[in-house]
Amino acid sequence: MTGVWLNRIWHAVLWIPVVFFSHPLLAKNLYGDSNLNLPVGVTHMSREVYSLHMIIFWICVVIAVVVFGVMFWSLIRYRKSKGAKAAHFHENTLVEILWTAIPLVILVVMAIPATATLQKIYDTSEAEMDVMITGYQWRWHYEYLGQDVSFFSNLATPPEQIDGREQKGENYLLEVDQPLVLPVDTKVRLLLTSNDVIHSWWVPQLAVKKDAIPGFVNENWTRIDEPGIYRGQCTELCGRLHGFMPVTVKAVSKEDYQIWLAEQKQQAVEKAAGNEREWTLPDLMAQGETVYNTYCAACHMVNGQGIPPAFPALAGSPLTTKAEGRATHIELVLYGKAGTAMAAFGSTLSAADLAAVITYERNAFGNNTGDVVQPAEIKQQLKPTE
Amino acid sequence: MSSLPLNRQQQGIRRTLWWLLLMLAGSVAFTVALVPLYDVFCELTGINGKGVNSARVLQSTGIDQQRNIEVQMITRTAAGMDWHFSATLSHKAVHPGEIHQMWVRMQNLGNTTGRARAVPSLSPAEASNYFLKLECFCFDDQQLAAGESLEVPVVFQIRSDLPEDLHRLTLAYTLYPQTGP
Amino acid sequence: MTSNSYSSAEGHIHEPPLRGIKRWLLTTNHKEIGSLYLIFSLVMFFIGGTMALVIRAELFQPGLQLVQPEFFNQMTTMHGLIMVFGAVMPAFVGLANWMVPLQIGAPDMALPRLNNFSFWLLPLAFSLLLSSLFMEGGGPNFGWTFYAPLSTTYAPPSTNFFILSIHLAGISSILGAINIIATILNMRTPAMKLMDMPLFVWTWLITAFLLLAVMPVLAGVVTMMLLDINFGTSFFNAAGGGDPVLFQHLFWFFGHPEVYIMILPAFGIASMIVPTFARKRLFGYRSMVYATASIAILSFVVWAHHMFTVGLPLAAQLFFMYATMLIAVPTGVKVFNWVATLFHGSISFEVPMLFTLAFIVQFTIGGLSGVMLAIVPADYQYHDTYFVVAHFHYVLVPGAVFAIIAGVYYWLPKWTGFYPDETLGRWHFWLSVIGVNLTFFPMHFSGLAGMPRRIPDYALQFADFNLLSSLGGFLFGMSQLLLIWVVVRCVRGGKPAPDKAWEGAEGLEWQVPSPAPLHTFSTPPEFIPERDSPGRA
């Protein structure tokens, strides 16, 4: 065990100086997606941001070398122990003007490319498609505007890996059940908002980071050059599971994107069929467990004990065990509870999933009410308007 | 030099103290003023995309037939809202200067009478000052009895001096439940 | 002229000294209150440090091992609040209490009773804040920046206590600032003009004005939170027509000057120590004063650089980028002046000097990463990652905290009458430098590699750097125990120090005996600007 750590320490120590000697143009070839520096990324903007980053980085390195060079040279040269005698000067107008003016010039040199890049980042015009990104505690919701396709994207890393009962996978904490699928070579406008607290959507490879703020819509854009899977995370503290809401973008060719889109629409039809039929209790329990672990377990915990007072227990609660609680239980799941973390799932989960999860909550964790909630009942409650 | 300088110093401290208390009162007043100042600042610059939350006067700036602006409408309901909320038309092409309206439909799906208010957000925020709402459902609370539904418009005009680089405006409305008076 | 008549401002130093606990509860003596502030800040430094070690222990390797995410969030929040408001700020106030009257030749602070009151508010504020950890739902868990609506609609029930404790700490700071300004403006020894004051006094005067200007803003923000939480207002709640972004504007309008409140007095300390051990007058005294003032003024127009990702319009982003970059100029002037002071000096490396030199180097590293963060397009990649954590810790720990420690080593002979143990001090210094850099330097890399801040668990590619940071954190934390040992030993005895404890030191504080008696400068000392002013021609 210590051997592994020592090895890792040694590995990390060895890499530290490397970053100082890496040439920006070689960086990508040498290290690929090195974990010492910003990724170069896969969009025109991310490459521009990367080169801006390297320019200012090297300017800062040069400044540091000059300032620290003079400083350490003075420290060594003018040691009292070597008999140095102090001079008496204590001001010099010319020098003082110079070291005010030179930094100003350097700053202007930095500001010019920064301004140009920023202007491009702000140009969201001529986007070919729009995706609405909504932050939830603690998952992302993607809606392809005008396409009738929308879904939640949840952390897919199993809890066993997080608490160390299983070996951690390669994409530990950066993997989701359903990634945001985008076509390459397409300017995509990203609209961001939030359902609860402030989140921030970040994919380093795209150089896109923007806050998702409740009640407001922010916009950004990206145009991905290469197919691939690009991973990021929420970067604004958003509560308990802030560290557990990754962003995963899967870029595919335009043709594959159309195929995927058609599949999504087909799946929506199949889901709708599930809303029409009668389900058995075991079927509902099986489906309910999946839905519960994805959407509910983060707060109410896998065992239904919750974390009171913020997240009430479902196990043994009058709400989930008593007949009188049934209507309120359904209502809370469908419409959420204003002013709390309890979100409304009525518009985001299918009637079948809602029926399954409510049935599961009324029968799991020792609640054993034997209650069955059918999709038809949920549909009745939701009364589709169009 | 026994008591005179002491008094002078005491007086000085007292005078400084008054100045500092005045400064402190100034800071406090400034803090209190920051919230309305921010609102004014936002209205002037449109920085938070809220725009003006009351009816604007009609501007007769002429209609620019050459430009087509796409106005996109997005509707969302807040957590805990048992209302249905949708736009009857999700986008519309308009010429700057024209007066247009877009409608939304709200329905109370709950069992009790409820009140809600749509909070607007315009993106890009730079457009806020060029997007004039002559009338909007978002100006007022909407009250609906259980099961009741309502169709309400936003009537707007885009100023013809809208910056050249803007081609698409996104209007987002989030419906929040209202409690209290 | 009798020495007795020229007593402290309110003339109560003639009262017989109280004994035991009452003496400390009721003391109005600037030296005793200064010591109280310093001891309080040391206690808070260790409490906040322990929380940092809980964080580093959890982040030692990927996976959740020691604490749950809720508790982790409380630790990051409390660590920040305690270090900012409980450790760094009171330490500077403590140093000001001790040294400002001694450096300007005043018998005490202008308002001694107020001084006592503003100190005792602090233990009250922080025991309240710490007790919220044990309340139902836990303590504050929304980060030290407490962004709404996470800190309002979604906050734990203990948030009202958090708000109260921030109010108390804020009042304490405001009263302290008033006292320091009143002292500096009115109680300087005759003939000492403003431009004759030591730089530590100058930087504190400017800091005190900053405090007076922005602490009410902080009080305003938490009051609005209180109203939103308890009285149904909607300042920050989008549902009622409020604006969560308004919170951030208000918070950072306070928060950015606050950052300078924590660094300007450190500049002052460095400007005292460098000339002493270079045995050469400070280079560019006047430009140092002007640079400090311009940094303070600029601090009011850069707040939105903390908010580059909230979606401000392009023009605002550009304005705040340029204004932020501009701050590099006066800050650079300070560093260049210190280097020019070293140049052609006669330099020796006693412990205070070692800490100051490390301060200059490490603060400059933090300053340079600050310039990188000012560049908006690049900031999109750095924002809210460990790169930012590395940046502000470089400015605050190897920066401000090192300057405070340097000040403590520098003035300990004056306070206790004995030199701190040189060998132990050197051990303390080298272990601290290694520990602090091992902790925070790798954070630049974990940030660039994409690790967000404030997460209790992380992806595997960040593992190596977090391991290093955790080892460094424990090394740095443990080596601070040496500081306590050095201070305790120094209070008890050691090599006796003369009035002027350091060969190259200048200033009125070195004219009083070591240890400084309880009452000094009952008669204003002689001050001849042409001979004694640090700004003399």
Catalytic residue among C79, C188, C383, C393: C79
Provide the percentage of residues in chain C whose pLDDT is more than 70. Answer: 97
B52: pLDDT confidence band, cut at 50, 70 and 90?
low
Q: Answer yes or no: is C11 within a domain.
A: no
Task: Give B-chain residues touching A126 at CB under 8 angstroms.
Answer: 167
Taking the CB of residue C240, how many other CB atoms lie within 10 A of it?
18
* pLDDT (0 to 100) of residue A4: 64
Catalytic (active site) residue C531: no
Task: Give A-chain residues touching C320 at CB under 8 angstroms.
Answer: none
| Interface touch B79/A347, C-beta < 8 Å | no
* Predicted-assembly ipTM surpassing the 0.85 threshold: yes
Q: Answer yes or no: is C377 within a domain.
A: yes
Selected residue of A142, A143, A220, A335 to mutate for chain B interface (largest B Cβ count, 10 A): A335
A-chain residue closest to B150, CA distance: A385
Is residue C97 within 8 A of residue C110, CB to CB? The reply is: no
Taking the CB of residue A61, how many other CB atoms lie within 10 A of it?
12
Catalytic residue among C167, C280, C305, C444: C305
Distance in angstroms (rounded) separating the CA atoms of residues C313 and C468? 40
B6: pLDDT confidence band, cut at 50, 70 and 90?
low
CA A225 to chain centre: 21
Task: Give A-chain residues touching B110 at CB under 8 angstroms.
Answer: 335
B49: pLDDT confidence band, cut at 50, 70 and 90?
low
Choice between A86 and C181, residue whose per-residue pLDDT is larger: C181
Instruction: Report the range of poorest mean pLDDT among A336-350, B12-26, C373-387, C405-419.
Output: A336-350
Catalytic (active site) residue C144: yes
* pLDDT (0 to 100) of residue A68: 96
| Interface touch B9/C220, C-beta < 8 Å | no
* pLDDT (0 to 100) of residue C160: 94
C380 touches chain A (CB under 8 A): yes
Query: Tens digit of pLDDT for each residue in C430-451?
Result: 999 999 999 999 999 999 999 9
Task: Give B-chain residues touching A337 at CB under 8 angstroms.
Answer: 79-80
Query: What is the pLDDT of chain B when averaged over all its residues?
Result: 81
C230 touches chain A (CB under 8 A): no
For residue C81, the one-letter residue type is: L
C-chain residue closest to B79, CA distance: C239
Choice between A346 and C124, residue whose per-residue pLDDT is larger: C124
DSSP codes of every residue in C243-278: -HHHHHHHHHHHHHHHHHHTTHHHHHHHHHHHHHHH
Our CA-based measurement puts residue A338 at a distance from the nearest CA of chain B, in whole angstroms, of 4
Report H helices in C375-462.
376-382, 386-395, 402-416, 422-448
Task: Give C-chain residues touching B7 at CB under 8 angstroms.
Answer: none
Helix (H, G, I), strand (E, B) or coil at C142: coil
Nearest to A338 among B79, B86, B121 (CB): B79
| Interface touch C224/B35, C-beta < 8 Å | yes
Selected residue of C188, C194, C243 to mutate for chain B interface (largest B Cβ count, 10 A): C243
**Residue stretches of chain A with pLDDT short of 50:** 1, 17-32, 384-386
* pLDDT (0 to 100) of residue C336: 96
Is the confidence at residue C309, as pLDDT, over 90?
Answer: yes
* pLDDT (0 to 100) of residue A28: 43
Name the domain count of chain C: 1
C231 touches chain B (CB under 8 A): no
Look at the domain A129-268 and name its fold: Immunoglobulin-like (2.60.40)
Instruction: Quickly count helices (H) and strands (E) in chain A.
Output: 12, 10
* pLDDT (0 to 100) of residue A238: 94
C-chain residue closest to A77, CA distance: C344
B115 touches chain A (CB under 8 A): no
C174 touches chain B (CB under 8 A): yes
Distance in angstroms (rounded) separating the CA atoms of residues C10 and C113? 9
Taking the CB of residue A248, how many other CB atoms lie within 10 A of it?
23
* pLDDT (0 to 100) of residue B180: 62
Q: Answer yes or no: is C339 within a domain.
A: yes
Is the confidence at residue B3, as pLDDT, over 60?
Answer: no
C282 touches chain A (CB under 8 A): yes
Selected residue of C178, C180, C186 to mutate for chain B interface (largest B Cβ count, 10 A): C186
Our CA-based measurement puts residue B79 at a distance from the nearest CA of chain A, in whole angstroms, of 5
* pLDDT (0 to 100) of residue C15: 56
Distance in angstroms (rounded) separating the CA atoms of residues A323 and A231? 45
3.50.50.60, 1.10.340.30, 1.10.287.90, 3.30.200.20: CATH of A2-121: 1.10.287.90
User: What are φ and ψ of residue A86, in 5° steps?
Assistant: -70, 140
Q: Which two tokens stand for residue C248?
A: 């951030």
Query: What is the pLDDT of chain C when averaged over all its residues?
Result: 92
Task: Give C-chain residues touching A57 at CB under 8 angstroms.
Answer: 372
Tell how strand B131-136 and strand B149-158 pair up.
Answer: antiparallel
Provide the residue range defining the domain that includes C323.
Answer: 30-532
Task: Give C-chain residues touching A190 at CB under 8 angstroms.
Answer: none
Query: Tens digit of pLDDT for each residue in B129-160?
Result: 888 888 888 888 888 888 888 888 888 888 88
For residue B154, the one-letter residue type is: V
Is residue B170 within 8 A of residue B123, CB to CB? The reply is: yes
Choice between C240 and C17, residue whose per-residue pLDDT is larger: C240
Catalytic (active site) residue C108: yes
Q: Answer yes or no: is C190 within a domain.
A: yes
On the 0-12 / 13-18 / 19+ scale of CB atoms within 10 A, A309 is exposed
Report H helices in chain A.
2-21, 24-31, 44-77, 93-121, 159-162, 254-276, 281-291, 297-300, 318-321, 325-335, 351-363, 375-382
Q: Answer yes or no: is C234 within a domain.
A: yes
Fill in the DSSP letter of residue A43. Answer: B
Q: Answer yes or no: is C110 within a domain.
A: yes
| Interface touch A335/B110, C-beta < 8 Å | yes
Catalytic (active site) residue C391: no
Task: Give A-chain residues touching C462 at CB under 8 angstroms.
Answer: 35
Q: Answer yes or no: is C77 within a domain.
A: yes
* pLDDT (0 to 100) of residue C81: 96
Catalytic (active site) residue C305: yes
* pLDDT (0 to 100) of residue B54: 60
Q: Which two tokens stand for residue A262?
A: 């058609």
CA A61 to chain centre: 31
Is the confidence at residue C12, as pLDDT, over 80?
Answer: no
Spatial neighbors of A172 by CB under 8 A, at least 6 apart, are A157, A161, C62, C459, C460
**pTM for this one?**
0.89
Is residue A376 within 8 A of residue A329, CB to CB? The reply is: no
Catalytic residue among C249, C279, C453, C500: C453
**Cβ pairs bridging B and C (under 8 Å):** 98
Our CA-based measurement puts residue A279 at a distance from the nearest CA of chain C, in whole angstroms, of 37
Query: CATH number of the domain that C410 lies in?
Result: 1.20.210.10
Catalytic (active site) residue C271: yes
* pLDDT (0 to 100) of residue B47: 64
Q: Which two tokens stand for residue C482?
A: 């040496």
Selected residue of B6, B7, B27 to mutate for chain C interface (largest C Cβ count, 10 A): B27
Distance in angstroms (rounded) separating the CA atoms of residues C257 and C297? 9
For residue A199, give the nearest of A180, A212, A218, A183 by alpha carbon. Answer: A212
Task: Give C-chain residues touching A74 at CB under 8 angstroms.
Answer: 339, 342-345, 347
* Domain layout of chain A by residue ranges: 2-121, 129-268, 277-382
Q: Answer yes or no: is C22 within a domain.
A: no
| Interface touch C6/B38, C-beta < 8 Å | no
> Interior CA angle at C433 toward C432 and C435, to 5°?
60
1.10.3720.10, 3.90.1580.10, 1.10.1740.10, 1.10.760.10: CATH of A277-382: 1.10.760.10
* pLDDT (0 to 100) of residue B137: 83
User: What are φ and ψ of residue C272, in 5° steps?
Assistant: -85, -40
Is residue C519 within 8 A of residue C427, CB to CB? The reply is: no
Strand partners, A188: A129, A222
Nearest to C246 among B1, B3, B38 (CB): B38
Catalytic (active site) residue C279: no
User: What are φ and ψ of residue C418, in 5° steps?
Assistant: -130, 150
